[in-house]
């Protein structure tokens, strides 16, 4: 039986497939959770990262994905709240 090891998570596979051409980009992957992060060459292990609930996960080619788990659709809800505060109400159907 041949065994093929993939990356550490399906999000790592999705990030590896991004056609980024520089190191100045971030990703948002939405599924059961939304994950927002950066692909880096080394982990960031600081008290601030830990206190803000960022994680370091293994990515493609030895890269590190610094990411934060976000409740699904939280970003959309926050955008709707900010737009409504500015007088612009948008339903999910509108979006």
Instruction: Calculate the dihedral angle through the C-alpha atoms of 20, 26, 28, 29, rounding to the nearest 10 degrees.
Output: 50
3-state secondary structure of 69: strand
Active site residue ranges:
10
Instruction: Calculate the dihedral angle through the C-alpha atoms of 72, 77, 79, 83, rounding to the nearest 10 degrees.
Output: 170
């Amino acid at each position: 039986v041949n065994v093929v090891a993939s990356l550490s998570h399906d999000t790592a596979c999705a990030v590896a497939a991004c056609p980024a051409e520089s190191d100045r980009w971030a990703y948002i992957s939405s599924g059961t959770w939304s994950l927002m992060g950066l692909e880096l060459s080394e982990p960031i292990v600081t008290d601030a990262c830990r206190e803000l609930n960022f994680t370091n996960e293994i990515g493609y080619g030895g890269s590190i994905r610094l990411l934060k788990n976000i409740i699904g659709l939280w970003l959309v809800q926050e955008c709707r709240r900010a737009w409504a505060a500015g007088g612009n109400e948008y339903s999910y159907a509108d979006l």
